Amino acid sequence: MISLRRKPLADLTAAAAEKKLTKALSALDVTLLGLGVIIGTGIFVLTGIGAANYAGPGLMLSFVLAAITCAFVCLAYAELVAMLPVSGSAYTYTYASLGEFFGWWVGWGLVLEYSVGASAVAGGWSAYLVGILHAAGIDLPKALTAVPYEGGIVNLPAMLVVLFATALLVLGIRESAKVNRVLVLIKVGTIFLFLFLAAPHVDPINWDPFLPYGWQGVAAGTGILFFAYLGVDSIATAAEETKNPKVDMPVGIIASLVICTVLYIAVSVVMTGVVPYQQLDTAAPASYVLEYVGMRAGSAIVGTGALCGLSTVLLVMIYAQTRAFYAMSRDGLIPRSLCRIHKKFHTPHIITMIVGVVVSLIAGFTPIHIVAEMCSAGTLFAFMCSALGIMVLRRVYPDMKRDFRCPAVYVVAPLAIIFCGLVFSQLSAHTIQLFVGWSILGFLIYMGYSRKHSVLAKSRHAGEEVAEGAE
C-alpha cells in the first residue's frame, strides 16, 4: 500500500536552523531575483510558437491568464518557503504536508518541470545560435540542427550546450547577487533593444483577426505559455534572506510578475504587429522578426543576448533537478549511491551526469513545443499540491512560526488550485496522456523501490508519523 506518513517538521526546521543566512534582501532585490529567474525561454522562444499555433495576436491575453495563476500560487508558496526554508522545493513541502506518496509524486513530476524544461531551453538556445550564424552568412546543415519531427536527424547544438552545462555543474559553480543583476540587465536590455528596433515596423493590419483561434485558443495558449513563468516559484526561496519577508516578499513577487507580464505583452504585441502570426512558428522569434524587416545586425545582437539569458536558465534548471534528486535520495526514495558527493568538486556528480545525458537526448530528438507542454504539466501539478499543502499545514501546525503568511489563505490557495487545474485542462490530450503515463511509471517505481527503502519506513519514529498522518 502507498504511505501517507509525513516527514517530521522537526527534522526540517532543524535543517533550516543550521543555515545562518543574512537577511539582506530588499523588495527590489527580490524583484530582480524574480526577473532573473522568470525571463528566459518563454519570451525568447515560445512567444512565436504560441502566436502561430495557439492564440494568434491574442497571445497577450494568454500571458495575463498565466500571470494571474502564478500570482495565486506564489502567495501560497511564499508561506511554505518562509516556514520551511530547506532544499527540495515543492517535493519537500508536499512530503511534510500531504505525505510520502504525494511527495514522491511531486518529486517525480519535478523531473518534467526541470529536466524536460531544460530540454526546451536547449532547443531555443540552438535556434538562436542557428539564427545568429545565418545572419552572419553561415548556414549549418538542417540534418544536424533539427529534430527528426522537423525534418532533421538530431539537434546537435542543443545536445552540446546541455553537456557543456552539465560539465560546469559537475565542476561546481557559484552565483552571487551581483552576477544575477548583470544577467538581468542583459536579458531586459535585449528585450528593450528588440522593442526599440522592431516597434517602428508594426502594421496594425497584422492584428486582424485578433483571436483567430477564438477564446479556446487563448486558453490553450495559456497551457504552453505557462512555461514562460517557469521558476516563478523559486522567488519564494529567498524568504529566509529577506529583510522584511512579510512586506518585501509579496511586493517582490507581484512586482516581478507584473514587470514580466508587461514585457511579455509588449513583445507579443510587436511580434504579431510586425510579422503575420502564421509565420512566427519558430524557436527564435525575436531574431526572425528583426531579420524579417532587414535588420540582420540587430537580429544577431538580440540573438546573442537571448543566448546569454537562455544559458543561465539552462544551468539553473539542471542544477535544480539534481538538487531535487539529492533531497529525494537523502530520504531514501531513490538510491543514495546516485547522489554521492564528489570528493574534490563537492557536487552530486553521478546524478548530474545522468540528468545531463538524459536532457541532452530529449533536446536532441524531441520537438520544443512537446517538451514545453510536458514541462507545464509537471509544474502545474506541483503547484496544485503545494497550494493544497499550505492549507493542510495551517490546520496541523497552526501555531508554528511563519515569517510570511499568505493573505486569505483559504481563498487564495483554492483559487491557485482552480486556476492551475483550468490551465492543466487546456493542455493537449497527447500531453495529458503522457503525464498520466509518466505518473503510472512513477507509481510503479515507488511501489517497487521507494516505499521499501524510505528512511521514514525504517525509522523508529515511523509508527508515530503514521499516527500523526491519520489525525
pLDDT by residue (tens digit) across 17-75? 555 455 667 788 778 777 776 777 677 777 888 888 888 899 889 988 888 888 888 88
| Closest among 208, 199, 224 to 283, alpha carbons compared | 224
In percent, how much of the chain has pLDDT > 70? Answer: 86
C-alpha cell at 392: 493542510
Confidence (pLDDT) at 437 = 92
Q: Tell me: pLDDT of 314 over 60.
A: yes
457, three cell numbers: 519506513
User: In this predicted model, which residue has the larger pLDDT, 175 or 144?
Assistant: 144
Least confident of 29-33, 87-91, 332-336, 380-384: 87-91
- In eight-state DSSP terms, residue 340 is P
Percent of the chain having pLDDT more than 90?
Answer: 11
pLDDT at residue number 414: 94
Position with higher pLDDT, 375 vs 11: 375
pLDDT tens-digit map of 418-461: 988 988 888 888 888 988 999 999 999 999 888 888 887 776 44
What are the start-end ranges of the H helices in 331-461? 349-365, 368-396, 409-425, 429-445, 451-453, 455-458
pLDDT, tens digit, for every residue of 250-288?
788 788 888 888 888 898 999 999 999 888 888 788 888
Contact between 315 and 164 (Cβ < 8 Å):
no
pLDDT of residue 410: 93
- What's the rounded mean pLDDT across residues 148-168? 89
Give the pLDDT of residue 340: 79
Higher pLDDT, 26 or 231: 26
Of 271, 255, 230, which Cα lies nearest the Cα of 40?
A: 230
DSSP string, 274-312: HS-GGG--SS-HHHHHHHHTT-HHHHHHHHHHHHHHHHH
Mean pLDDT, rounded, for 76-93: 74
Assess contact for 58 and 217: CB atoms under 8 A: yes
Give 242's strand partners.
Answer: 25
pLDDT band of 177, cuts 50, 70, 90: very low
- 467 — pLDDT class (breaks 50, 70, 90): very low
Query: What is the pLDDT at residue 176?
Result: 44
Domains located in the chain, CATH noted? 29-451 (1.20.1740.10)
What are the grid coordinates assigned to 120, written together?
A: 526546451
Question: Lowest-pLDDT range, 99-108, 335-344, 401-410?
Answer: 335-344
The pair phi, psi for residue 242, each rounded to 5°, is: -95, 135
Pick the range with the lowest mean pLDDT from 190-199, 232-241, 330-339, 410-419.
232-241
Q: In the prediction, which pLDDT does 284 show?
A: 81
Instruction: List residues bridging with 374 in a β-sheet.
Output: none
Q: Give the three cell numbers for residue 176.
A: 552571487
- On the 0-12 / 13-18 / 19+ scale of CB atoms within 10 A, 77 is buried
pLDDT at 261: 86
* pLDDT above 80: residue 230: no
DSSP three-state, residue 439: helix
What is the pLDDT at residue 462? 47
Distance CA 62, CA 217 (A): 9
Tens-place pLDDT, residues 104-139: 998 888 887 778 878 888 888 888 888 888 877 888
pLDDT tens-digit map of 234-244: 666 566 567 77
- Hey, how many other C-beta atoms are within 10 angstroms of the C-beta on 279? 16
Give the model's confidence band at 181: pLDDT under 50 very low, under 70 low, under 90 confident, else very high. low
For 73-95, what is the mean pLDDT? 76
Name the average pLDDT for the chain.
81
Instruction: Write down the pLDDT at residue 465.
Output: 45
Task: Answer whether 333's CB lies under 8 Å from 92's CB.
Answer: no
What pLDDT sits at residue 13? Answer: 62
For the stretch 317-327, pLDDT in tens is 787 778 778 77
pTM: 0.77
pLDDT value at position 12? Answer: 66
Q: Are 322 and 355 in contact (CB under 8 A)?
A: yes
